[in-house]
Amino acid sequence: MHERFAVITGASSGIGYELARRAAEDGHALLICADEPEIEDAADKLRRLGASVETMNIDLSARKGFEEMWSRIADRDIDLFFANAGRALGDAFHEQDWAEIRRRIDLNTIQTTLALHRVGRKMAHRGQGRILVTASIGGFAPGPFAAVYNATKAYLDSLCYALHDEWKDSGVTLTCLMPGPTETPIFTRDRNRLQDAPITAREKDDPGEVARAGYDAMMAGESGVVPGFTSKVITMLSGVLPESLKARIHRAGAEPDRTKD
């Protein structure tokens, strides 16, 4: 009997960990990845649920990291694939280090696209499989002081809906999870430089609830889901508000509070 197998990137905490927990509770063996040692703590918690868990501490923003992961899964039947790894970067665009900008672009777009190409082809040849990509409602608006992050998420939103349509007769489904601000370490990691953004101190969505909405939508074969009432309202308004106004609204939550310096 085939052992159901799920791969989750960015699974050390937050939405990624909660997605892994959902897959474990559904009886899947797991391979979880992250670029930090906390991935082992996540694995320990998941094993307490009775799951078989493999871990990889790898940097998926680099092609080498992706190929390391691929070497572990290329010859295995993948039932569920969660492309959840992603990073943000706060502060003004011109003040950011180019290497950090490039790393975000590579992780959020290039390596995610490579993963979807490899995994999607593999699933299509098999005639079955489900993929969930963690994008963002940030993809619906220009993002002052998070310009690169929002731009990469806009790319993912568009790519996901296109591939969902392409694969509709292949047995492969792709679902785009588009959360709003969620209570995860993305806001507090030093490398993301978001600690002084007003949104960091505000109430945010629960990662468990966001993951549940994404997981359920994926299993139902839906094209996309926006969890949370407030995020749904923001998404609906994004279709009617001018880009300049959306940018000003985003700036109010993302511009660093320099009075903390």
Q: Go through the domains of the chain in sequence order and give each one's CATH number.
A: 5-260 (3.40.50.720)
Q: Kindly compute the dihedral angle of the four CA atoms of residues 162, 168, 170, 175, in this order, to the nearest 10 degrees.
A: 60
Do residues 46 and 53 touch, judged by C-beta distance below 8 A? yes
- Burial of 151 per CB tally in 10 Å (0-12, 13-18, 19+): middle
Task: Provide the pairing of β-strand 29-34 with 129-134.
Answer: unpaired
What is residue 198's DSSP assignment? H
Q: How many CB atoms lie within 10 A of CB 68?
A: 16
- The tens place of each residue's pLDDT in the chain, 261 residues long, gives 578 999 999 999 999 999 999 999 999 999 999 999 999 999 999 999 999 999 999 999 999 999 999 999 999 999 999 999 988 787 889 999 999 999 999 999 999 999 999 999 999 999 999 999 999 988 888 888 889 999 999 999 999 999 999 999 999 999 999 998 877 665 556 555 556 555 556 677 799 999 999 999 999 999 999 987 666 666 765 665 667 766 777 677 677 776 655
What is residue 184's DSSP assignment? S
* Spatial distance between the Cα atoms of 107 and 215, rounded to a whole number of angstroms: 22
Task: Provide the pairing of β-strand 53-57 with 29-34.
Answer: parallel
* pLDDT, tens digit, 9 for 90 and up, residues 146-174: 899 999 999 999 999 999 999 999 999 99
Strand, helix or coil at 183? coil
* pLDDT, tens digit, 9 for 90 and up, residues 110-134: 999 999 999 999 999 999 999 999 9
